[in-house]
């Protein structure tokens, strides 16, 4: 999806995630100004693997908490390895002071930023070769308990005021949109979530493109923010500390 010249926001929610089948080999790194998003249904991938092993079509497989944790790490390394031209087990990941995972620069000369968000057995992973990136994934029907109270306590004053003025039937969607966008921005900033939500303002009007409107201590024009809907029932957000001109979205599937 190409973004208009000099725009800092994507004009519409990204909904088209092109299927890409395992095995993945030698993925091209995102060029400057482009980001790649990958959406994974871990239960469906596990079901496809079981079908390949025993020949029985059981659809999706219910995974335990431990299995989900393992699957997330496995597929992150699988994708990183495909970009780096390495087996996933050879990918070395470190964690920065605030827990943000990064490639081990002492092992990998290639610069590749990434961010991962989970919602149950669904996974969203974003990649950028030129800029810090953050992603978030939320169930679209997530109930916003005391949305206005949360907004007044944690969001910027402008966001809280905008949400308070939203029609009652639109409040839940508007709140979730702001929450997802703010999570993505904080992840991209690498500063952790504590005391960060009120430092910046994102677009809360559901009729307008996602955007960072104001950021304390820095220019909001240096950010690109987008909403994604990888499948019905899920809302995602991606934030990049740069001007993005292209976004490519994929869904990882098992080989047919």
Q: Which residues are CB-neighbours of 187 under 8 A, at least 6 positions away?
A: 100, 115, 117, 133, 134, 135, 136, 239
In a domain, 6, yes or no: no
pLDDT for res 194: 61
In a domain, 71, yes or no: yes
pLDDT for res 54: 64
In a domain, 56, yes or no: yes
Which domain, by its residues, includes 139?
18-253
pLDDT for res 149: 95
pLDDT for res 89: 95
In a domain, 12, yes or no: no
Give the residue among 219, 224, 161 at the shortest CA–CA distance from 1: 224
Whether the ω angle into residue 23 lies within 30 degrees of 0, i.e. cis, is yes
In a domain, 4, yes or no: no
In a domain, 126, yes or no: yes
Q: How many structural domains are present in the chain? A: 1
Q: According to the 3-state scheme, what is the secondary structure of 193-231?
A: CCCCHHHEEECCCCCCCCCEEEECCECHHHCEEEEECCC
* DSSP secondary structure code for residue 85 in this structure: T
Torsion of CA 195, 199, 200, 205, to 10 degrees: 70
Give the residue among 182, 183, 188, 184 at the shortest CA–CA distance from 200: 182
How far apart, in whole angstroms, are the C-alpha atoms of residue 38 and residue 11? 20
In a domain, 2, yes or no: no
Give the residue among 209, 212, 207 at the shortest CA–CA distance from 196: 212
Query: What percentage of the chain's residues is helix, strand, coil (to nearest 5)?
Result: 30, 25, 40
Residue pair 1/234 in contact (Cβ under 8 Å)? The answer is no
Over residues 162-211, the pLDDT tens digits come to: 999 999 999 999 999 999 999 999 999 887 666 789 999 999 999 999 99
Domain of residue 73, CATH code: 3.90.470.20
With 0.85 as the threshold, say if the pTM is over it.
yes
Angle among Cα 136, 233, 177 to the nearest 5 degrees reads 45
Q: What stretches in the chain show pLDDT beneath 70?
A: 1-12, 50-59, 97, 143, 192-194, 256
């Amino acid at each position: 999806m190409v973004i208009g010249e000099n725009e800092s926001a994507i004009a519409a929610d990204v909904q088209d995630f092109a299927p890409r089948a395992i095995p993945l080999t030698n993925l091209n790194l995102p060029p400057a100004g482009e980001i790649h998003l990958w959406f994974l249904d871990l239960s469906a991938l596990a079901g496809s693997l079981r079908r390949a092993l025993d020949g029985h079509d059981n659809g999706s497989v219910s995974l335990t908490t431990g299995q989900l944790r393992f699957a997330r790490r496995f597929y992150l390394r699988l994708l990183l390895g495909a970009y780096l031209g390495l087996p996933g087990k050879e990918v070395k990941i470190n964690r920065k002071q605030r827990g943000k995972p990064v490639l081990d620069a002492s092992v990998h000369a290639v610069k590749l930023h990434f961010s991962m968000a989970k919602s149950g057995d669904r996974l969203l992973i974003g990649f950028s070769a030129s800029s810090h990136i953050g992603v978030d994934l939320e169930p679209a029907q997530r109930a916003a308990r005391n949305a206005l109270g949360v907004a007044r306590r944690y969001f910027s004053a402008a966001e809280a005021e905008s949400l308070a003025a939203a029609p009652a039937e639109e409040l839940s969607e508007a709140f979730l949109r702001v929450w997802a966008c703010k999570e993505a921005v904080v992840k991209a900033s690498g500063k952790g979530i504590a005391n960060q939500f009120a430092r910046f303002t994102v677009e809360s009007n559901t009729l307008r493109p996602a955007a960072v409107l104001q950021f304390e201590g820095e220019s909001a024009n240096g950010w690109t923010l987008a909403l994604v809907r990888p499948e019905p029932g899920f809302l995602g957000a991606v934030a990049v500390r740069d001007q993005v001109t292209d976004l490519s979205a994929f869904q990882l599937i098992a080989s047919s």
